[in-house]
Amino acid sequence: MNPRVVQARAISDTQVAVEFANGERGILDVAHYLDLPVFRILRDPAEFRRVHAAHGTVAWSDDVDLCPDTVWHDAVRTP
């Protein structure tokens, strides 16, 4: 099982800074998801900034979140 997200914050209109349970950090760019129907609401910068960590992953609401394994695999690690 991959480490889960413990913190998430928007750093641009398409990128989220994440911290994982193992202490690693990364940047997740979700631009390629914004054309999918469930994620279109996140094109609104105010909605995108509502990002938070929930249940071990990146979420915006009860209906909009990402698979925790996707976040782990897609996030570019940062120091």
Could you tell me which CATH number the domain at 5-78 has?
A: 3.30.2020.10
pLDDT tens by residue, 18-67: 999 999 999 999 999 999 999 999 999 999 999 999 999 999 998 999 99
User: What pLDDT score was predicted for residue 20?
Assistant: 98
pLDDT at 62: 86
Annotate the chain with three-state secondary structure.
CCCCEEEEEECCCCEEEEEECCCCEEEEECHHHCCCHHHHHHHCHHHHCCCEEECCEEECCCCCECCHHHHHHHCEEEC
The pTM assigned to this predicted structure is 0.94
Sorted by sequence, the CB contacts under 8 Å of residue 55 that are 6+ apart come out as: 65, 68
